[in-house]
Chain A
């Protein structure tokens, strides 16, 4: 089983739709969680951190469920510019060393 798993998609949704992605992780000792966005042939860029209490940034909402070991990303009122690959990142989980695990990414395509 992969340490961090994401549905690869692609998700193809119309502009204005709401779309949600999940990401599961296997190490219950994982400490920090992030969502990154990666455009084609570009580097990943931080979208938002994910906190246990949940957090919102405009149209984007991230949630962490430690009991079930998954994080989620909700995008409301999707825009054409939201088309990208969304990567979840899980860090920590080993007290003796830093470990940073990326999921394989979920591809999102917004159509007009």
Chain B
């Protein structure tokens, strides 16, 4: 079985541009979460989606948005890129249930974004 997949693997953008990152969860998983990881830090929670609805949001500006599609894949969009947005963007899927607030996250390989 395929694990979590992300595309692209690497991306270079310039300040002010927009970027879309994509994630496909493990088959059967209905929840997708997005994280930003800068060098030397742990992943920072951006969003969690479950059944196409936003279930949680971290402390990121409105330039960051996401959505989940009927097939449970997800996109993370970042507008008006800043130099500080350069990071590894990780997607994780989980078999979250509607009644549970806890889940084990399985990560994809990440998209490394560089903003020049």
Contact = CB atoms under 8 A, between A and B. Distances in A.
Main DSSP-derived SS at the A contact region: strand
Contacts of B108: 43
A91 B90 contact: no
A38 to B, nearest CB: 8
B94 to A, nearest CB: 9
A66 interface: no
Interface string B90-116: 100000100001111111111000000
Interface residues of B, number: 26
B44 interface: yes
B112 to A, nearest CB: 9
A36 to B, nearest CB: 8
Interface residues of A, number: 26
B47 to A, nearest CB: 10
Contacts of B96: 98
Given A100-B56, A103-B42, A43 B110 contact: yes
B48 A100 contact: yes
B24 interface: no
A81 interface: no
A92 interface: yes
Interface in B14-57: 33, 35, 40-45, 48, 50, 55-57
Interface of A: 4, 6, 31-32, 34, 42-46, 49, 87, 89, 91-92, 94-95, 97-105
- List 7 tightest A-B contacts by C-beta distance, closest first: A98-B56, A102-B42, A32-B102, A43-B107, A97-B56, A92-B101, A98-B55
